[in-house]
A and B are shown apart, each in its own frame.
Chain A
Amino acid sequence: MSVEQVIDALRGRFADLDFSPQPLLVRPDGTATEQMWVRVPPERLVEVMTFLKENEEALFDQLVDVTAIDYLNFPGAEDRYGVIYSLLSLVHGHRLWVKCFVNDPDPEVPSVTGVWVGANWLEREVYDMFGIRFQGHPDLRRILTWEGFPAWPLRKDYPLRGQGEREQYEVVTRESA
């Protein structure tokens, strides 16, 4: 089973969607990698993901990673955020990347925790770093920073040195300790 067959199966099942499959990387000599990514609109994400997990030709039984990109000021980008799902089939040994583009204000994608339980903490990390909400997530809290942290640190408009979070502590002196 190759990724092309998976994409053919996707097109056969979801004829109305434009997956626009592209290689992950094009080398300087013009050749492309065999690894592909497809774009899926957020409103159909869970449907497509369920198909990818359960279809006999796809069988993506492992969700390797959920991450995101902030495309602010990125040349040629149409959307602000891209949520990226990295899939692996342990049966067939092939991989596929699914990208899901969302925009300000209130960027929101449906949660895939109903498909892969392991998406729970991965989606919490994306929520923590980018502020992208996952609709239907059972426990959508920040995972690395604390509740009440005032910003979304990995957004491009957040300054690298922060907004003073690293300086707001009480000063423990020898007298006060």
Chain B
Amino acid sequence: MMANEKYTYAPHTMSKDDFVTTRLDTLVNFFRKYGVNWCRKYSLWPLPFATACCGIEVMAVGASRYDIARFGAEAMRFSPRQADLLIVAGRVGIKMMPVLQRIYKQMTEPKWVISMGACASTGGVFDTYAVVQGVDQFMPVDVYVPGCPPRPETLIEGVMAIQRIVERDGIVSSTERGKGFRVVVEPTYTLTVPSRQEKVDEPVGVGK
């Protein structure tokens, strides 16, 4: 097997018979480009910021039926220092918004944000003085997950959208990512139609 041919494959696709001879710095660059992103993509550590009924769906996603461990994101962390994916699930009140902002600031780079459900994204039906009308007014959001509350499949699709961002963006900090990708996911049960799948995949590259 020629060494140069292997560069197009991720390292995990090598069988036990394959071997590679290369320069060490080339190998390091290879792993930084493909390996680290691949590892990071399948080891997202979410912080479930669950304030309402969307939190129930987050729990369902974590439980055995939907099982977010299949996507490597089952390590729910309740400390922002240990998490890199903030899932804002539920309505955010006027007293909770500074808390949410502080939690976002406390998370270490790189970090991603999912705004889950109608309330976190727009305020939902709670158009009152006490509810913030969309957390994206005051903090960055990478992926919006629609629904009231979203089905667990939809949240999983949101996590997969984050995974696609991670795969393409890798370990650059969120500052370098600018304002985020503004990705809106669609429910996964429509993905059997090929054209719909392209539609879901399409916006991920837009911000780049």
List of B residues within 8 angstroms of A146 by Cβ: 95
Tier of interface size on chain B: 20 to 34
Q: Does B38 contact A (CB under 8 A)?
A: no
Cβ contacts under 8 Å, A153 to chain B: 129-130
Contact B132 A166 (CB under 8 A): yes
Q: Is the CB of A166 within 8 A of B129?
A: yes
- Minimum Cβ distance to chain B for residue A112 (Å): 28
Known: A145-B95, A161-B127, A177-B105. A172 touches B132 (CB 8 A): no
Contact partner of B129 (CB less than 8 A), chosen from A159, A169, A172, is A159
| A-B CB pair tally, cutoff 8 Å | 60
Contact yes or no, B130 A171, CB < 8 A: no
A-B contact pairs, 10 of them (CB 8 A): A146-B95, A158-B129, A160-B128, A162-B128, A166-B94, A167-B133, A169-B132, A171-B138, A172-B139, A174-B179
Q: Are B95 and A169 in contact (CB under 8 A)?
A: no
A174 to B178, CA, bound (A): 7
Q: Mark A111-132, 1 if CB is under 8 A from B, else 0.
A: 0000000000000000000000
Give the secondary structure class of B's interface: loop
- List residues of A whose CB falls within 8 A of some B CB: 145-146, 153, 158-163, 165-167, 169-175, 177
**Given A165-B94, A166-B129, A174 contacting B101 (CB threshold 8 A):** no
Would you give the shortest CB distance from A80 to chain B, in whole angstroms? 21
Closest to A158 in B: B129
B6 within 8 A of A: no
- Given contact pairs A153-B129, A169-B98, enumerate 17 new A-B contacts (beta carbons under 8 Å): A158-B129, A162-B128, A162-B129, A165-B130, A166-B94, A166-B130, A166-B131, A169-B101, A169-B132, A169-B137, A170-B101, A171-B137, A172-B139, A174-B174, A175-B175, A177-B104, A177-B174
Known: A170-B101, A171-B138, A173-B140. A162 touches B175 (CB 8 A): no
Task: Tell me, yes or no, whether B177 is within 8 Å of chain A by CB.
Answer: yes
Question: Which residues 53-96 of B have a CB within 8 angstroms of A?
Answer: 94-95
User: Is the contact region of chain A dominated by helix, strand, or loop, or is it mixed?
Assistant: loop
Q: Provide the residues of chain A in CB contact with B175, threshold 8 Å.
A: 174-175
Contact check: which of B95, B101, B128, B140 meets A161 at CB < 8 Å?
Answer: B128
**Which residue of chain A has the shortest Cβ distance to B98 in the bound complex?**
A169
Query: B residues near A, CB below 8 A?
Result: 94-95, 97-98, 101, 104-105, 127-133, 137-140, 174-175, 177-180
Residues of B within 8 A of A169 (CB): 97-98, 101, 132, 137-138
In the assembled complex, how far is the CB of residue B30 from the closest CB belonging to chain A, in whole angstroms? 28
Contacts A161-B127, A171-B138, A174-B140; A166 near B133 (Cβ below 8 A): yes
**CA–CA, A145 and B25, complex, Å:** 58
Given contacts A172-B138, A174-B140, contact A165 B104 (CB under 8 A): no
Q: For A145, what are the chain B residues with a Cβ–Cβ distance below 8 Å?
A: 94-95
Min CB distance A145 to B, Å, is 7
Given the known interface contacts A146-B95, A171-B138, the answer about A162 and B130 at a Cβ–Cβ threshold of 8 Å is yes
Q: Closest CB of chain A to B184's CB: distance in Å?
A: 19
Who on chain B is nearest to A146 by CB? Answer: B95
Q: How far is the CB of A148 from chain B (nearest CB, A)?
A: 12
- Please report the C-alpha to C-alpha distance between residue A90 and residue B137 in the assembled complex, in whole angstroms: 50
A161 CB to closest chain B CB (Å) equals: 6
Contact (Cβ within 8 A) B95 A172: no
Q: Which residue of chain A is the closest to B95 with respect to CB atoms?
A: A146
Closest to B132 in A: A166
The docked-state distance in angstroms from the alpha carbon of A172 to that of B111 is: 14
